[in-house]
Amino acid sequence: MGRLLRYFMVCFAAGCVLPAYADTVLYSTGFEGPAFTAGVTINGQNGWATFGPASASQVENSMADTGSQALDVFPALASGQSGAYYALSTSATEIEMSADIYLASSSNQSGWQFAGFAPGLSAFVGGIDISSTGVINLIDPGNTVVTPTFTYGSWQFLDFVFNFTTQTYTFSLNGAPISSNVAFCGSDGATCTGANVSSFGDALFDTFPAAGTPTDNGFMDNLSISSVSSVPEPRSLMLMGAGLALLIARRLKR
């Protein structure tokens, strides 16, 4: 017990009380049944919609990170930029969006995109473009290239935190921070304007199909959209209180 109390006191003094914030899940899905039916387009399933040919965005049960189903986007069935999106309008000032993404390797590689939008796909908040060579570009006014490149043929965890107060976002790949204080895009076009984006609306996963007949596929699983709260969790408050009480007790004893 003595070691535990000393740990709380040292941790409090060092400022290492974690977690400091709580997330409220607004939407999450692993694309599992019965909410989703495999083998058909995702369009109209559980609030999802598509652009481009609906057949290019399907629920499948042959490749999943967890469970048995995932979203599958087929560049070979696409007609120009095509994909699927989920609309969730919220007034929360800080949004975390994450998903597991798998891109198959091919000799005729397509480009890909995972991004957050304002309601109605009216303007990019932020996200990434993945080129046909695996280069990752932030969707921001500078079209910033980041490292490392995307790894094909394995599941990768992508995480974004969008702050609508500062109009900036962070990007992490497989738990490693990649970029922070990235400016919101503010446009639905190829060139970001940096215009203010007032709220989060849509999560999008789509492809820019390679010329000819693309043979690669892209999969998304475990999509999660959460509001981030600045109110400490009860556990954090308890640890902070314990550390403060111990510091006071030690001073009184002296």
Residue 139 in any domain: the answer is: yes
With a cut of 60, say whether residue 50 has pLDDT above it: yes
In a domain, 136, yes or no: yes
The per-residue pLDDT of the chain, averaged, comes to 87
**Residue 236 domain flag:** no
How many domains, in total, are found in the chain? 1
Residue 187 pLDDT: 96
Say what the pLDDT of residue 230 is: 62
Query: According to DSSP H, which parts of the chain are helical?
Result: 2-14, 234-253
Residue 160 included in any domain? yes
Where do we find the tokens 């040292």?
A: 10
Does residue 252 have a pLDDT over 80? no
Q: Which domain covers residue 60, as residue numbers?
A: 21-231
Report if residue 156 sits inside a domain. Answer: yes
Residue 177 domain flag: yes
**Averaged pLDDT, 26-54:** 97
Q: Where are the beta strands (DSSP E) in 135-186?
A: 136-138, 145-146, 156-163, 168-173, 176-183
Q: What is the CATH number of the domain that holds 200?
A: 2.60.120.560
**Model confidence pLDDT, tens digit, residues 13-33:** 444 444 445 799 999 999 999
Would you say residue 55 lies in a domain? Answer: yes
pLDDT of residue 16: 45
The Cα–Cα gap between 73 and 160 comes to 21
**Arithmetic mean of pLDDT, 64-87:** 97
Mean pLDDT is lowest, of 63-67, 146-150, 188-192, 248-252, for 248-252
Q: How far apart are CA 137 and CA 126, in angstroms?
A: 11
Q: Is the pLDDT of residue 231 over 60?
A: no
In-domain check, residue 237:
no
